[in-house]
Chain A
Amino acid sequence: MPRIGIQAVKGTITLALPLIALAFVAEFFLPAALARLATLYLIYVTAVVGMQIYSGNSGIISFGHAGFMAVGAYGASLLTIQPAVMSTSLPDLPVWLAGIAGGQPLLVGMLGALLVVGVVAALFGLPLSRLGGAAASIATLGFLVIIHVTLVASADITRGTQTFFGVPRGVSTLTALPVALIAVAVARIYRDTRGGLSLRAAREDEIAARASGVNVVRQRFLAWVLGGLVSGAAGVLLAHFLGAFSPKDFHFNLTFLLMAMLILGGISTVSGAVGGTALIVVMVDLLRRLEGGAEVFGLQLPQVFGLTDIGVGLVILAVMYRLRDGLFGLREVDERLFPEPVVKATPPAQSGASDNVSLAIEGVGCRFAGLVALDDVSFAVRPGLVTGLIGPNGAGKSTLINAISGVVPPSSGRVLLNGTDTALVPVHEVPTRGLGRTFQNIRLFRNLTVLENVIVAADAVAGPGEDSRAAAMAALAVVGMQDLASRPATSLPYGAQRRLEIARALALRPSFLLLDEPAAGMNPAETDALISVLRQIQAAHRIGLLVVEHDLKLIMRLCDRIVVLNKGQMIAEGTPEEIRANPAVIEAYIGKRRAAA
């Protein structure tokens, strides 16, 4: 059962009310032409919301959703087509299809089509969800072309490039309304579910999302299939609104139109999809009237072919140049109008990590094309103690961290987390198995709130029925950031961003926490605050800390054990006193001249 938050319910109602009002006004008070426009609007809202589910949450622009609409349109129409028309227009229908095709009610058509859409989406989603960014966008474009080519080529079933007709035109405003409402509800609820939130986190920073336990590939796949189903439903409606169509109606022009609708309102929100679609539908309707060479204020305008395309193109450019997040920005309307109050949590009297946890680095070596970055490093991070990892630049600290967190598996040796080799589990599972981390260059989910940043990690380890929100607030309380919970992460001062990263890692309830230069760039006051937070974590939660730092004073103050690397070799391990007195360390780290003095 997906998590349905109060905020998502508020959001759904906020968006549903205007749609319901519009549908009833259009149905009972507006002239037929405007009522048709309202119906078209509801259909486009459904389609765009389907795109938003995938693109808005993953950040990957999709050119493929017009393809889903096409599959939905043809799939449903084959079931619902008037039998009398079918026998003449589709004489070569394959036998298996002829048995079920024609004469079915719209609902059956819808369900049948969505089944096909789901299968198609899942098949293509397998390779697609492994891609991110621009490559994924191009792959969705490939999807659109595949669908188009297939429809044109399957002339026995689709009549190829010729018009497919005889589809009962049963879609009015009141038929389109429930589908649009379901679409909006699905999208708004999905946005706040574990899957939606973690996908938004991956959109902001894929590496940090993986380090917070997010299975990015799976979440992309789910959003692709879910969005595909919603857009497919829009295709079903459009087919039964138009009654006749051909494959080119679901190709680039439609894609272009949907894209403008999505980005004008703002790709990140469902509100944006609903609002942007309204504006584009009105604009396109006005431009279509001008296209035929209308008379405006006594002036006869020339016929301009494709005026709507130019208008749509200019809207996209204007948004890109002036208003990248769209008219509605990054937050939903409901999140601005009726934000959920932040309830403070008390940090739980956590029993802390149990004693039978272990993090052992065993003979780890890393080679990159002949360069030995690390050679045979072995030590253990002990629960409840702070272990420092120091060494001059190029000593191999970062390489070791990447090996421990499973990002870059070692070329020899292994890292055992509670007895499991971290190189053998997927990167996103290492954090949920008890190893949290922070990054040298802060990696936050910048456009999510402070609280959402932490919820992503809390979700990754939450059992069924557990309240991730409360767990996240508790983690924020540990670093003293409860009051900032509803701020966007990107608005925080530097020191607070570092602490937020720690809170996010803590929300994973780790047995071990790996801090990569946590004090880098901090002023003395921020460093002191950091040290007290780390001490508190160490004391209250019995977490084993591994701290990589350049700041020797900090390391000496904080650590129980220190490991020293130099040129890929581990040259010393011991207490701060032992390290301070170790001549090899002084020579390697502080320099020969100082060592002599």
Chain B
Amino acid sequence: MSMDIFLQQLLNALSLGGTYALLALGLAVVFSIIGLINFAHGELMTVTGYAICFALIWGLPFPLAVIAGLVVAIAAALLMERIAFRPVRGASGTTLLLTSFAVSAILRVLFQNIISARPIPVSIPSSMSGVVTIGPLHLGMIQLISIVVTLVMLLGLNLFLHRTMAGRAMRAASEDFAVLRLMGIRANFVVATAFAISGLLAGVAGLLWVAQRGSVDPLMGALPVLKAFIAAIIGGLGSLSGAVAGGFLLGFIEVILQAYLPDSLLPYRDAFAILLVIAVLLFRPQGLLARKTLVKL
């Protein structure tokens, strides 16, 4: 394989894996605090896509449309928490899971009825869809942007969690929520922050997804978030670094399968990817970077 094809594949893997990583990270942030696997995370992506799409239709310049999309994503995540998930806070994981499953399905039907069941095109600036030529290499612009954005988000979140008061409260909450509340930190604040972060991460992932595909539809978020679920378990549910690792791993597996599977087997790619990843669980049932949980017997 020539150098630039190899590099292109590497970029593909990094950008796809990065998107999965952002999504899985958003899931893990919420899971680590309240034990919810948010099925409706994908709908946050979709909402972002629609927000960007309509902002552009209304004539906002692209950067403002992106900001609008992210603001809407965060607002939607906060609303979701307030309306749908607060009534079941503290319930079993099963209850939380089913609640979010229902929320996700209802939102999809609403998108189909209120907006459209068909994909709506989004006009992405041509500067984002070009090819960058570095010496002999031709690399996709959008992949490069994805990678940079992913890295910035990961670094930013890391700084937030370690350097700010709110971030430290979040990390403490993921260790032991009850004790944190005894310290006088309001539970609602911590949970809302977690949802805001997950909304932002879903928004960025949604932006990157729309930028690659150029359209939005009601089911846009379903497939990538499904992959992110799987990435999150592989990493070890609730472990933030595990979610990122799992996301990149899944991205690499998919790109490698895409590149090396014979044509006759290519349609099975997703099945192979999920199987490979689940096979990991045979050897590490707790995931790659499991959270150390101390169970008091």
| A and B form one complex | yes
A320 within 8 A of B: yes
Interface string of B92-113 (1 = CB under 8 A from A): 1111011101110110111011
Decide: B230 and A138 in contact? CB cutoff 8 A.
Answer: yes
B60 within 8 A of A: no
Do A138 and B102 form a contact, CB below 8 Å, given A145-B270, A149-B271?
no
Decide: A259 and B281 in contact? CB cutoff 8 A.
Answer: no
Please measure, in the bound complex, the distance between the C-alpha atom of A130 and the C-alpha atom of B282, giving whole angstroms: 7
A297 within 8 A of B: no
Sample of 29 A–B contacts (CB below 8 Å): A127-B282, A130-B282, A131-B285, A135-B281, A137-B37, A137-B97, A138-B232, A139-B278, A146-B270, A146-B271, A146-B274, A149-B267, A149-B271, A256-B101, A263-B98, A306-B113, A309-B105, A309-B108, A310-B109, A310-B110, A312-B102, A313-B105, A313-B109, A316-B99, A316-B102, A317-B103, A324-B91, A398-B297, A441-B296
Separation in Å of the B40 CB from the closest CB of chain A?
11
B259 within 8 A of A: no
The dominant DSSP class at the A interface is helix
Do A135 and B233 form a contact, CB below 8 Å, given A126-B282, A153-B268?
yes
A141 within 8 A of B: yes
Contacts of A520 in B (CB 8 A): none
Please measure, in the bound complex, the distance between the C-alpha atom of A59 and the C-alpha atom of B296, giving whole angstroms: 22
Contacts of B93 in A (CB 8 A): 133-134
A278 within 8 A of B: no
Decide: A320 and B98 in contact? CB cutoff 8 A.
Answer: yes
Please measure, in the bound complex, the distance between the C-alpha atom of A153 and the C-alpha atom of B257, giving whole angstroms: 15
A379 within 8 A of B: no
A28 within 8 A of B: no
Separation in Å of the A93 CB from the closest CB of chain B?
16
Decide: A61 and B282 in contact? CB cutoff 8 A.
Answer: no
Decide: B268 and A149 in contact? CB cutoff 8 A.
Answer: yes
Separation in Å of the A395 CB from the closest CB of chain B?
16
Most buried by A among B102, B103, B232, B285: B102
Decide: A309 and B267 in contact? CB cutoff 8 A.
Answer: no
Contacts of B117 in A (CB 8 A): 305
Decide: A141 and B99 in contact? CB cutoff 8 A.
Answer: no
Please measure, in the bound complex, the distance between the C-alpha atom of A306 and the C-alpha atom of B295, giving whole angstroms: 44
Question: Within the complex, which residue of B113, B226, B237 is in contact with A145, where a contact is CB–CB below 8 Å?
Answer: B226
B87 within 8 A of A: yes
Contacts of A141 in B (CB 8 A): 226, 229
A29 within 8 A of B: no
Please measure, in the bound complex, the distance between the C-alpha atom of A137 and the C-alpha atom of B113, giving whole angstroms: 30
Interface string of B262-297 (1 = CB under 8 A from A): 000001111100110111011001010000000111
Decide: A317 and B102 in contact? CB cutoff 8 A.
Answer: yes
Contacts of B105 in A (CB 8 A): 252, 256, 309, 312-313
Decide: B268 and A150 in contact? CB cutoff 8 A.
Answer: yes
Separation in Å of the B200 CB from the closest CB of chain A?
23
Please measure, in the bound complex, the distance between the C-alpha atom of A398 and the C-alpha atom of B296, giving whole angstroms: 9
Contacts of A133 in B (CB 8 A): 93
Query: Total number of A-B contacts with CB less than 8 angstroms?
Result: 134
Among residues of A, the one whose C-beta sits closest to the C-beta of B270 is: A149
Q: Residues of B at under 8 Å CB distance from A?
A: 31, 35, 37, 84, 87-88, 91-95, 97-99, 101-103, 105-106, 108-110, 112-113, 117, 222, 226, 229-230, 232-233, 237, 267-271, 274-275, 277-279, 281-282, 285, 287, 295-297
Contacts of B98 in A (CB 8 A): 61, 259, 263, 316, 320
Do A439 and B297 form a contact, CB below 8 Å, given A59-B94, A142-B278, A305-B117?
yes
The 6 nearest A-B residue pairs measured at CB: A153-B267, A306-B109, A316-B102, A313-B106, A149-B271, A313-B102
Separation in Å of the A396 CB from the closest CB of chain B?
14
Contacts of B267 in A (CB 8 A): 149, 152-153, 155
The dominant DSSP class at the B interface is helix
Question: Within the complex, which residue of A145, A155, A398 is in contact with B274, where a contact is CB–CB below 8 Å?
Answer: A145
Do A306 and B112 form a contact, CB below 8 Å, given A145-B271, A398-B297, A401-B297?
yes
Question: Within the complex, which residue of A138, A150, A304, A314 is in contact with B233, where a contact is CB–CB below 8 Å?
Answer: A138
Contacts of B237 in A (CB 8 A): 134-135
Do A320 and B95 form a contact, CB below 8 Å, given A310-B109, A313-B102?
yes
Decide: B295 and A207 in contact? CB cutoff 8 A.
Answer: yes
Please measure, in the bound complex, the distance between the C-alpha atom of A458 and the C-alpha atom of B112, giving whole angstroms: 55
A407 within 8 A of B: yes
Contacts of A252 in B (CB 8 A): 105, 222
Please measure, in the bound complex, the distance between the C-alpha atom of A401 and the C-alpha atom of B87, giving whole angstroms: 40
Among residues of A, the one whose C-beta sits closest to the C-beta of B274 is: A142
Contacts of A96 in B (CB 8 A): none
Please measure, in the bound complex, the distance between the C-alpha atom of A142 and the C-alpha atom of B117, giving whole angstroms: 25
Separation in Å of the A127 CB from the closest CB of chain B?
5
Separation in Å of the B207 CB from the closest CB of chain A?
25
Among residues of B, the one whose C-beta sits closest to the C-beta of A263 is: B98
Among residues of B, the one whose C-beta sits closest to the C-beta of A306 is: B109
Separation in Å of the A374 CB from the closest CB of chain B?
15
A516 within 8 A of B: yes
Decide: B268 and A134 in contact? CB cutoff 8 A.
Answer: no
Question: Within the complex, which residue of B87, B232, B233, B296 is in contact with A440, where a contact is CB–CB below 8 Å?
Answer: B296
Contacts of A411 in B (CB 8 A): none
Within 8 A of B (CB), among A117-172: 126-128, 130-131, 133-135, 137-139, 141-142, 145-146, 149-150, 152-153, 155
Contacts of B285 in A (CB 8 A): 130-131
Among residues of B, the one whose C-beta sits closest to the C-beta of A321 is: B87
Decide: B88 and A321 in contact? CB cutoff 8 A.
Answer: yes
Contacts of A131 in B (CB 8 A): 233, 281, 285
Do A320 and B233 form a contact, CB below 8 Å, given A137-B37, A312-B105, A402-B297?
no
Please measure, in the bound complex, the distance between the C-alpha atom of A152 and the C-alpha atom of B275, giving whole angstroms: 16
Contacts of B232 in A (CB 8 A): 138
Among residues of A, the one whose C-beta sits closest to the C-beta of B297 is: A439
Most buried by A among B108, B279, B281, B282: B281
Decide: A320 and B271 in contact? CB cutoff 8 A.
Answer: no
Decide: A134 and B281 in contact? CB cutoff 8 A.
Answer: no
Question: Within the complex, which residue of A138, A153, A313 is in contact with B271, where a contact is CB–CB below 8 Å?
Answer: A153
Q: A141-B226, A309-B105, A312-B105 are in contact. List 17 more A-B contacts (CB 8 A).
A: A59-B94, A131-B233, A131-B285, A138-B232, A142-B278, A145-B226, A153-B268, A256-B105, A305-B109, A307-B109, A313-B105, A317-B84, A317-B99, A317-B102, A320-B99, A398-B297, A402-B297
